[in-house]
Every structure is written in C-alpha cells, then in structure tokens.
Amino acid sequence: MMTYIWLYLVLINLLTAAVYIWDKHQAVAHRWRVPEARLLGLAAIGGALGALLAMQIWRHKTHKWPFALGVPLMLVLQAVLLIFLIFEWLPKLGH
C-alpha cells in the first residue's frame, strides 16, 4: 500500500511541476494559460511540493496570495496527512 502512495506522490508532483513550468513558459510567450484553479487543484490533490518547487525555481505565481500562502499551507497539510498515514493508519492495516 505504501508503495502506491509514494508512487502517486512522485507522479502527481512531477505532473504538477511540469504544468507550472509550462504555464510559466506560456505566460512569457503571451499564449493560452492554465487556469489558476487547475494549478491550485493539482497542488491540492498531492502536488504541493512540486508546485512550490516550480514556483520558487521558475519565479512563477510567487506574488499571488492564493499561491504564496495556499501552496505552502497545502504542503504542510499533505505532510501531516502522510505522517498520519505512515504512523497511524497503515500499521493498523497490518502493513
């Protein structure tokens, strides 16, 4: 079970980072952009680490408060959830 959780987290974070980077390139080229709700949604479903890294490395969406505050908050919540899964929920399942 834990293998699937780690796999999901790796994949969703890679996808999220790629979408944030693509959106940054689209912004520079003045082309169609990814809706902000989709960017935040990807961060919310487990991709907060990828979102935060892409935001900081590519300097994208760092001044918009839903991103500057929301993405780090999502990362903290996801870390707490992961810790709960590892130490509380999974041991009770016998894994």
pLDDT in tens, 16-52: 999 999 999 999 999 999 999 999 999 999 999 999 9
Phi-psi region of 91 (alpha: psi -120 to 50; beta: other; left: phi over 0): alpha
- The answer for residues whose C-beta is within 8 angstroms of residue 40's C-beta and 6 or more apart is 66, 67, 70, 71
Instruction: Give the per-residue pLDDT at 95.
Output: 53
